[in-house]
Structure 1
Amino acid sequence: MIKRTLGDRLFDGANYAAMLIIFVIMVYPFLYIINYSLSDPALISGSALLLPQNPNIDAYVLAFSDSSIVNGIFISVARTISGSALMIFFTSMAGYVLTRDDLIAIRFFRRFFVLTMYFSSGIIPAYILMNELHLAGTFLVYILPSAVAVFNLILIKTYIEGLPKSLEESALIDGANDFQLFFRIIFPISKPVIAAVVLFACIAQWNAFIDTQFYNAMNTDLYPLQYVLYNALQSISSIEQITIGRRVQHVTPESLKMAITVITVLPIMLVYPILQKYFIKGLLIGSIKG
């Protein structure tokens, strides 16, 4: 047993106090948004809003009655599922290929992929490329450009390199080809890194809205939920369009903005704690060898 001194206890107390302050600073803004969206705006004063005032869900009822928000949810869910699945399919296979030392010019390909993390073509060349490929103005522009993510590729490659080589050798001896080796042996036992990469991909796809502004700004049917929220926060006119013709009690433009914000953030908040252990493990892949 180590005897704790007064200085040790004061140090621990200061750490706890600092963590509590950081927790309040991070959590209270979102708690305020939730309480505001559930409150009667007429009862909200300038003081801290710790609990909803006259709780109601009128703002959420109005939000889900608007077709642009419902369509935005559909587009966000569709791009998150399809984009993440496509990225996992291609990125995992590319990561496995880069572990093969017998591949011709393997060093060049490894350096080439890493080089793309530091240099990009820029916004204008990227838009010209998407336009020439006839992807601008389509749903595919959300998922095809992100089909291979180099950072996730490196995570998968590093994880596969840590697997026993005897697994591959035994499968090859039994007559398995490269596709069978990857999909039946390597991929199933790579669940920790795959789960971490899936989390990265889902968060990136769900939170994306800049690509909509670049390629689909004129196509309202392809607005994801994040871009709907972006328009709502940038312009009061978009909120007024939702409220025009609908008389809903206890709803103001501000409370409607808060409700849309909660609808946008809540899915990730529910999924993140479930996959948090894989998220941490994914960040540590390759940092420790044992």
Structure 2
Amino acid sequence: MKERSLSGTAFDISNQLFMLIILAVMIIPFIYIFSYSLSSPNMLKGGLVLWPEGFTFDSFKRAFEYPAVLNGAFISIARSVLGPAIMLFITSMAAYVVSRPDLLGVKFFRRYFIFTLYFSSGIIPMYLLMGFLHLKGTFLIYVIPGAISVFNMVLIKTYIEALPKELSEAAVVDGANDIKLFFRVIFPICTPVFAAVVLFDCVNQWNSFMDVQIYNTMYPQLHSLQYVLYNMLNQFSTIEQLQEAGNRQRGSITPQTFKMAITVITILPIACVYPFLQKYFIKGLLIGSIKG
């Protein structure tokens, strides 16, 4: 018993040390980026920066002085709110439909949806389709193509199938049809999996810029924040370019601190939202994996 106790204690200690190393590997880069973006270039001496040297917001001020940043932030926030909301509404209803075993042809519909996970039309046919639907040059290009997500539909379907069947049977006995059953019984108790898929889609919408580059590159008013910051990184790659763009304090901003500030701007909103959805996110992914 003593030997097993010692071995168990050794395992626990080694496991905790390993997890601390993993935690440090994940957190230190974020601390470095955040600290570097708030540091004055004149105070930086190279090496790992874990605390701001010569605290300053000059890099952030310069980033937000760029006219397209605020418009890009509005577009990114709008698509990160409307896109997941529309996706959740349509995808959840599709998941409910394919979860009904008594639906005529349900096996065909399930295979039809799964087929799209393995095969896609490609960029050129998609581009032609968006042009035919007159979605290019509009905000709808960001939300309509992603209104249905088969991967999220599978997650929601699995969650619904894991719910007690007595709930649906009781609602049907009380006279509820499929619409009332879904919106009054199923929908309210699917919060964990809904939070998981919404977080997936929010992150995807916030980080997306390829659709802007493909469809709306000629429409600056529809550029997302990620695409605007991407262009800023390419445009302001030297100190001289930063000076010409309007920075009056020589040495207060360098391309490196400017890039770090832009990186913080892009990751901070998601980092602030994630902790509030984490418990639902984990529960939503694990639900249905253990039964009995």
Normalising by structure 1, report the TM-score.
Answer: 0.92
Q: Which is further off, 57-66 or 68-77?
A: 57-66
Q: Distance in 2 between matches of 1:242 and 1:169?
A: 69
Q: Distance in 1 between matches of 2:244 and 2:191?
A: 46
Q: Distance in 2 between matches of 1:71 and 1:181?
A: 41
Partner of 1:130: 130
Q: Distance in 1 between matches of 2:21 and 2:193?
A: 33
Q: Distance in 1 between matches of 2:147 and 2:196?
A: 16
Q: Deviations over 1:171-212 (max 9, x none)?
A: 233332222221111101111111111111111111111111
Q: Distance in 2 between matches of 1:163 and 1:197?
A: 18
Contact 2:193–2:285, Cα closer than 8 Å, also in 1? no
Alignment of 1:1-290 (within 5 A): 4=4, 6-236=6-236, 240=241, 244-248=245-249, 250-290=252-292
User: What is the aligned-residue RMSD (CA, Å)?
Assistant: 2.2
Q: Distance in 2 between matches of 1:43 and 1:60?
A: 17
Contact 1:233–1:257, Cα closer than 8 Å, also in 2? yes
Contact 1:62–1:248, Cα closer than 8 Å, also in 2? no
| Structure 2 unmatched runs, 5+ | none
Residue 287 of structure 2 aligns with an amino acid whose one-letter code is I
Q: Distance in 2 between matches of 1:263 and 1:253?
A: 15
Residue 266 of structure 1 aligns with an amino acid whose one-letter code is L
Q: Deviations over 1:236-275 (max 9, x none)?
A: 3699479613424622232222111101101111111221
Change (3 A) 1:2 1:67: farther
Contact 1:35–1:50, Cα closer than 8 Å, also in 2? yes
Change (3 A) 1:12 1:164: closer
Contact 2:38–2:52, Cα closer than 8 Å, also in 1? yes
Aligned residues between the structures: 290
Contact 1:37–1:59, Cα closer than 8 Å, also in 2? yes
SS in 2 for 1:71: helix
Q: Distance in 2 between matches of 1:19 and 1:178?
A: 47
Change (3 A) 1:4 1:243: farther
Q: Deviations over 1:35-76 (max 9, x none)?
A: 111111122122221211110112212222222111111111
Contact 1:90–1:147, Cα closer than 8 Å, also in 2? yes
Q: Distance in 2 between matches of 1:74 and 1:242?
A: 27
Q: Which is further off, 17-26 or 272-281?
A: 17-26
Residue 126 of structure 2 aligns with an amino acid whose one-letter code is A
| Structure 1 unmatched runs, 5+ | none
Contact 1:232–1:238, Cα closer than 8 Å, also in 2? no
Contact 1:216–1:223, Cα closer than 8 Å, also in 2? yes
Change (3 A) 1:181 1:152: same
Residue 278 of structure 1, CA deviation: 1.7
Matched-pair identity in %: 57
